[in-house]
Structure 1
Amino acid sequence: MMALDAMNLSITEVDLNMDKGEHRTPEMVTMNPLQTLPIFKDRELVLYDSQAITTYLASRYNNCGRLLPLDPGGRAIVDQLLHFNSGILYPLYRSAAHPILYDNCNFVMPQQVCNIQCAYRDLECMLVGRTWLGGSWPTLGDISIAATISTLQILVPIDKLKYPRLSSWLYRMSEELFYITANKKGLGEFSRRIDSGCVCDEREFKCPRSSIGRRSGAVGGKNEDI
């Protein structure tokens, strides 16, 4: 969703309630045997990995080279960040959050906290001499990692004294319009659910079914619904 808003693209978005198993219907399983979200369909093409989806969208519909560099070196840097997110950060989120969300666990295990802190330290080192992870401006790599880190830091807060560069980077990301329109609302839903252990009211947090709908509420860099 952040990538869509950053590229000013609009697609038809369909909400599925994972708590009710709507992602496991025969139709959904046919499109994605892994039974995960998101699922993206463009004519006959079906993708079900967010990194693959965003790079496809940038390559096919927003080939300006800013979010996804055109030169091989710049593209490799973004790919490297996407792999770090999917291979390191997301598994850390899943192992820490799912017991709380689905197994009535009330805390993050000490070893998981340690592993997440190690990932924070790695990102802190990756930001030495850099304003953004991907280069001189936010790229799909920054967006992908911001989606996971903004969620992880609800479970294990980022210590500003230990990780000042990472903390500053996340703050800069949070000021980007695409972050405000497409990430903050869901982040609030996740935070409340972690705190309460309950499913949130869908009517309160339901996002508009198109990127145009999300962006139309943004005024001067702020979203009135947030």
Structure 2
Amino acid sequence: MGAGRSKAVASGLKYCTLWKADRSPACRAVMMALDSMDLSITEVDVNLDKGEHRAPEIAVMNPLQTLPILKDRELVLHDSHAICTYLVSRYCSSSRLLPQDPGGRSVVDQILHFNSSILYPRFQAAAYPILYENCNFVLPQQIYDIESAYKDLESMLISKQWFTGCWPTLGDIALCSILSTLDVLVPIDKTRYPLLSSWLYRMSEEGFYLTANKKGLGEFSRRIDCGCAFDDKIFKCPRSSLRRRALISTQETKT
């Protein structure tokens, strides 16, 4: 499953807690990073539809009232890119997810910045009116902006299988969480973007995609299509990342 090896797989990290919502692509990026390292921390599911992300205990940690939030002892982080790079830098002994040399690290950082400055704002502009403002479709300007991003990403993949190296790195994981979600809103045309489509398919076959992205992506799709709300019955929290992976793997086996 893992692209990198965790320094603390056996016992997990008992001081680390992640507050997250599976339908959020930012949260799924962190979960995929955890699963790619076979790293286990305490995970707490937050019901966005019930406004639990605005609870006082959440607001104290993150005044922006956004998810994900990572707390490691006294350190609190609430940006998915910062969380991912922190976890890899501190707890992963492999450099596959995040190269240690300045050049390789800069290539990954470059993709992370593209993700946060270009893709995520376009996702918000397209999805939030549907999620929170009773809009029933993606607006034409948002479709144009997303298609423009697809075109740029297609050009980045020329002569490459992955965005940041010879295997998936944190850059690919961050892009995957957003692009798999954007694909629900504005499907990636295989004929116009064959490289991007093939990349997303390869990512979808990674173990961490199945355990950390697939379920939340399904929740997002149902929320977009028919407004289905969060189902409290499917969650037992807090629980460990290891337990989540085991539950998802069991469900995948049954299906």
Instruction: Judge same fold: TM > 0.5, yes or no.
Output: yes
1:201 aligned partner = 231
Q: Does 1:105 align with 2:117?
A: no
Q: CA deviation at 1:217?
A: 4.2
Q: CA deviation at 1:146?
A: 0.1
1:171 aligned partner = 201
Q: Does 1:223 align with 2:233?
A: no
Q: CA deviation at 1:224?
A: 3.1
* Partner AA of 2:222 in structure 1: R
Q: Indicate the structure with greater strand content.
A: 2
Aligned with 1:140 (options 151, 164, 170): 170
Contact 2:127–2:138 under 8 Å retained in 1: yes
Flag structure 2 segments of 5+ consecutive residues without an equivalent.
1-30
Cα distance in structure 1, aligned partners of 2:70 and 2:43: 9
- The answer to which of 169-178 and 189-198 deviates more is 189-198
Contact 1:189–1:205 under 8 Å retained in 2: no
Cα distance in structure 2, aligned partners of 1:21 and 1:219: 29
* SS of the residue 1:135 aligns to: coil
- Aligned positions of 1:2-17 closer than 5 A: 2-17=32-47
* SS of the residue 2:100 aligns to: coil
Contact 2:43–2:237 under 8 Å retained in 1: no
Aligned length: 225
- Change in Cα spacing, 1:52 to 1:163, as seen in structure 2 (3 Å) is same
Q: CA deviation at 1:207?
A: 8.6
Contact 2:211–2:249 under 8 Å retained in 1: no
Q: Does 1:38 align with 2:68?
A: yes
1:52 aligned partner = 82
* Partner AA of 1:164 in structure 2: P
Cα distance in structure 1, aligned partners of 2:130 and 2:54: 21
Q: TM-score normalized by structure 2? A: 0.84
Cα distance in structure 1, aligned partners of 2:236 and 2:187: 26
Cα distance in structure 1, aligned partners of 2:236 and 2:138: 27
Cα distance in structure 1, aligned partners of 2:211 and 2:122: 25
Q: CA deviation at 1:29?
A: 0.9
- Change in Cα spacing, 1:205 to 1:168, as seen in structure 2 (3 Å) is farther
Q: CA deviation at 1:111?
A: 0.6
Flag structure 1 segments of 5+ consecutive residues without an equivalent.
none
Contact 1:28–1:35 under 8 Å retained in 2: yes
Q: CA deviation at 1:202?
A: 3.4
Tell me: higher relative CO, structure 1 or 2? Use CA pairs within 8 A at least 6 residues apart.
Answer: 2
Cα distance in structure 2, aligned partners of 1:14 and 1:217: 15
Contact 1:185–1:205 under 8 Å retained in 2: no
Runs of at least 4 residues off by over 4 Å:
204-208, 217-220
Cα distance in structure 1, aligned partners of 2:213 and 2:254: 12
Q: Percent identity?
A: 67
